[in-house]
Amino acid sequence: MTPFRCSRRVDFCDTDMVGIVHFANYFRYMEFAEVEFLRSLGLSVKLLHQEVPIGFPRVSVGCDYIRPLRFDDVVDIDVAIERIGSKSISYRFAFTLAGQPIATGRSTAVCCRMAEEQKMESMEIPEEIRKLLQSRVDGK
């Protein structure tokens, strides 16, 4: 399956004193790409299911860096689903600049409903959401 691809221009505020993207901003870029991917499926990171708010908070993230990005670079971010569990979804992100690899990231999120007193409670991914996501699982 071809991964979902989006692009993002590096803002000046994303760079550090030596002019390269600060490592923590890659996590913001992954979130940006995930949101764009979900929008492409008609979904969001914030949804209602049976009149109850649900979301997908991260439980694990990581990033490996290959070469730097700089102010005004336009980075392509590929998003692929590696795995869908009963309650979780794992993504893989590939960052490239002009076809050259920049970084690889990964993220796992768990489907949760907002319980009483704003506490989150994990839940199985609703079937209609699972079907949309399953159609994009890497290797399908």
Closest by alpha carbon to 89, among 50, 39, 129, 29?
129
pTM, entire model? 0.91
Domain residues of the chain, as ranges?
4-134
Q: Which two tokens stand for residue 127?
A: 């079937």
Q: CATH number of the domain at 4-134, out of 3.40.50.970, 3.20.20.450, 3.40.50.880, 3.10.129.10? A: 3.10.129.10
Distance CA 123, CA 98 (A): 40
Burial of residue 104, with CB atoms counted within 10 A of its CB: 0-12 exposed, 13-18 middle, 19 or more buried:
middle
Taking the C-alpha atoms of residue 132 and residue 140, their distance in angstroms, rounded to an integer, is 13
Tell me: pLDDT of 114 over 90: no
What confidence tens digit (pLDDT) does each residue in 25-67 have?
A: 999 999 999 999 999 999 988 887 878 889 899 999 999 999 9
